[in-house]
Structure 1
Amino acid sequence: MSHTAHIPSHRKPRRGASKTAIRSGVAGGVLSTMALAGAAAPAHAEPVTETIEMPTLTSALAGGVAQSAAATQRVAVDLELGAQEDAAAAHAAKVAKRAKAEAERKAEAKKKAEAARAKAAAEERASRSEERTTLSASSDSTGTTQATGSAAAVLAFARAQVGDAYVLGSNGPDSWDCSSLVQAAYRQIGVDLPRTSQPQSTSGTPVSLDNLQPGDILYWGGAGSAYHVAIYSGGGKFIGAQNSGTGVVEKTLDWDPPSGAIRLL
């Protein structure tokens, strides 16, 4: 037995291999955790400056951009033209509407005016017809119808020429032929008749010899080819420049019966 066997050893007892491995793992884990924490902490990190270069436009890309801009401009122009066309169409429609309304107003006014004239003419004809009826029923002591109005003026002139000479082609004032006397008598009321008997015989409305009224024009021969004319004075008589032997006379229809008659009044 050694002389030192009874002396306790100062050397620490040897640890087992398993305990050593465990401690090594723990230490490694601690170190890893610290490393990760240091990497994540931004407290003392240096700022990073990075320069980013933009890509340069290629010629193809620039052309595409230009085409897109041109297309956009064309669309804008088309929209502007469309708006102008719409505005022009709306204005034209308003003008047409106003023109139509004005035309309709004028047509209506013309229609009313024509209706008023027709009514006035009808009333005038009715008045004249009534006047003629009254004249036909009214006679003086000699049996001669007393004419009034336009018929009276015509007959007054014609009667004032009774006794004047008959001269073919003469126009008065002291000698007449048949048609010049009729023309002059009607001129007193503003009626301008043709100069000769042929056209005078068709210048009015044909009437029956059984329905004569003062102022009617009598003719001898055919209508349009008459060779003589005179004026019916009422009461079955007429006034006319008959011939060179009688001059201007007032005679009964029986003395020289006419062929027909026309009415102007």
Structure 2
Amino acid sequence: MYAIDLSGQSALITGASRGIGSVIARRLADAGAAVAINYRSRGAEADAVVDSIRNSGGHAIPVPGDVSDEAAAEVVVKSAAEQLGRLDILVNNAGINRDRLLMRMSVSDWDEVLSVNLRGTFLPTRFAVPLMVRQRYGRIVNISSVVGLSGNPGQANYAASKAGQIGFAKAVAREVASRNITVNAVAPGFIEFEDTGGMTAGLTDEQRQQILTRIPAGRFGSADDVAAAVVYLVSPGASYITGQTLTIDGGLIA
């Protein structure tokens, strides 16, 4: 096994002020990449991520902006590329959920989730791809979910957005493969992390045990499990992998 070295590369991670996004940013920085920490409203938390990376000897910058807004997304991508000198890696991580059964789901519940999760993937990718085409190199990873593959009651909007990220990755991968750009997705299952709790937040002990019986690995995943997959997919060793979805779920939907 070889150590992954991303020295000299630059990465933009959307929605990276906390949760999985912040851990992905830290792991990319650990591998040597300079990272841009995008956030919409959690400036203090984004600054804390930037400081932690810098204190560990890495290079990080904060880049504010709502990536579901066209003008703001363009500024986010261009700002990251200009400040870091280039843009090699884009991780589309920004996402929200508004869980309700379909018959109680409002149009605003639907629109907001699709806007942040799917439009917020399309727009940064739309502005990043021309930069990557010109340099004939790029790595794009969408943070989807197993819910986008299996569905889940009460999450029709979330599942649709996450399935859309997977289809989007497959289509764009075919468009840009000849320019040495790969586009993939990762689909986490039940992931725990310290700052927000992840998909296991709010579960009772009984619910946790019921879910664990469905996971062959016998445990919930960690944000590091997801980050490790992302670091691999953007590494030189994954240069022949594109249009794929890597499921990080301990065998839940195998």
- If the length of structure 1 is used for normalisation, what is the TM-score? 0.19
Q: Which structure has the larger Rg? A: 1
